[in-house]
Chains A and B, each alone.
Chain A
């Protein structure tokens, strides 16, 4: 698990970064779009707030939201995949049909419609489920199918275990690597959708310190103080890449093992 350390470090910095902020992230402390230097290490934003403080504070909410969305999506996808793969027959057909339709409807349209009906964070979770759960369900279904035909599942059935116990205690642990990878992928999807909805005006609202909101607010001043856009952009990119690459090295390790 060598690959877990950089990921853990990034998450620690993102979640606890607010403690290191030199200024109040929502208080005006200078002129708008001041270039970096002096009291403001990364300059100021559209309203004259400290970019460094806002960058340090602005990731926690996003990460928590994306993690929640990823966990819910992965949970629903795994549950559907287990049922479809194990029961087969009509359960499989219904779940596959629903998944096919959900994949054909653009995620963004679903996300936008949900965002109007419910608050932004709920919309992010719901849209991540709509966009990600079908893919997870498909992969878990295929894995469950091959597990069902493996000998150890039959052995457990002969011991008299109930289907639910068998799925949770035998089948699920056997595909734990797969489930972790799926959870990570859905975390990234949740992060992307959270950014998108915020950018379109349906997510985090001003004056909150939020990386995606900072991109939206500070893009017009990109020429005056590029770091007001570059700082949140680089932090978001680092977060997404670290998670994706950690999953990758994990999968590589599993393949070579």
Chain B
């Protein structure tokens, strides 16, 4: 098979699998959200309405149809670009989600941009040929990945804001919700997201780097007298490209969802904070929309990683 044909084939498989997962995941998200007790009719009336009013309101909001029908209606309207209205505030879900999505996207991008070089440095340190320092760095990565996200946020706030007073303890965005004009507000949440992610990915990639060091072409390069930076970037890193892309995809998806904790603790008005408030208010359309976005980010990340791995593989096979 030619390189283009096998690439197209691999791409088709990845795309088909991602689409199937996306459909199933949307059903799972919808089912999970529908399982919330006390629906929006209760929430809106504050639990004081009569049974008749509740039944009428449920009919108006379309809450009385069977689950699969509501899922079908929900997916078709979403595909048409209509995300529905918030059950609590009656505002269009798109208006609620769009600024939050932007804020979280900026935060995630900064966090990933911080995490990737940190993770690569840690992986190179943990995958070195000197066993003692390798073990020390790998242990450091393991420990860093185990620390709960809440603790990372708390320690960063105590040190950077409490003891050093370099940064405000809360990252409250100005009205309108764009973090672009206030880069200082991004430092705490981005660091809090990036550090555990970098530790996790660094530990994972450390193994791949160690394998690459023992590969024949690297030993050959060492024998030819290639050392230092050149050896690492030219001979070791290309070998760990495929697992690295996978790790970056997982880290991106992970930060997009673990942003909820960081955003809530720091008052950063992002998608995760919206999810938490929407769940607390039983605002099903908002929860479903945010949940779906989060799940689709994970699915898309996995698909991109699969695709990148396929490209790397095909190029290796057809060299």
- Interface residues in chain A, defined as those with a beta carbon under 8 Å from any beta carbon in chain B: 100-101, 104-110, 112-113, 115-117, 188, 191-192, 195-196, 199-201, 212, 215-216, 219-220, 222-223, 226, 229-230, 232-233, 236-237, 240-241, 243-245, 248, 252
Give the residues in chain A near B51, CB-CB below 8 Å.
none
Binary CB contact string for chain B from 139 to 166 against chain A (1 if under 8 A, 0 otherwise): 1001101111111001101100111010
Interchain residue pairs with CB less than 8 A apart (24): A101-B25, A104-B299, A105-B25, A106-B257, A108-B258, A109-B257, A109-B291, A112-B275, A196-B148, A196-B261, A200-B276, A216-B265, A219-B154, A223-B161, A223-B162, A226-B162, A229-B157, A230-B155, A236-B151, A237-B148, A240-B148, A241-B147, A245-B139, A245-B142
CB–CB A109/B21 < 8 A: no
Contact B24 A101 (CB under 8 A): yes
Nearest B residue (CB) for A112: B279
Task: Tell yes or no: B171 within 8 A of A by CB.
Answer: no
Decide yes or no: A241 and B146 within 8 Å by CB, A104-B299, A106-B291 being known contacts.
yes
Q: Are A220 and B279 in contact (CB under 8 A)?
A: no
Complex formed: what's the CA distance from A107 to B142 in Å? 21
Q: Which of B4-12, B31-39, B230-238 contacts A (4 or more CB under 8 A)?
A: B31-39
Give the interface SS of chain B, mostly helix, strand, loop or mixed. Answer: helix
CB distance from B301 to the nearest CB of A (A): 10
Contact of A116 among B29, B37, B258 (CB under 8 A): B37
Q: Are B264 and A192 in contact (CB under 8 A)?
A: no
8 Å CB interface, B70-100 against A: none
Interface residue? B302 (CB, 8 A) = yes
B241 at interface by CB-CB < 8 Å: no
Q: Within the complex, what minimum Cβ distance (angstroms) separates B56 from chain A?
A: 25
Task: Closest B residue to A115 by CB, please name it.
Answer: B279
Q: Is the CB of A109 within 8 A of B275?
A: yes
State the Cβ distance, B80 to closest chain A Cβ, in Å. Answer: 24
Given A110-B32, A192-B148, A241-B147, A105:B142 Cβ within 8 A: no
What distance in Å separates the Cβ of B163 from its nearest Cβ neighbour in chain A? 6
State the Cβ distance, A138 to closest chain B Cβ, in Å. 14
Q: Nearest chain A CB to B76's CB is how many angstroms away? A: 21
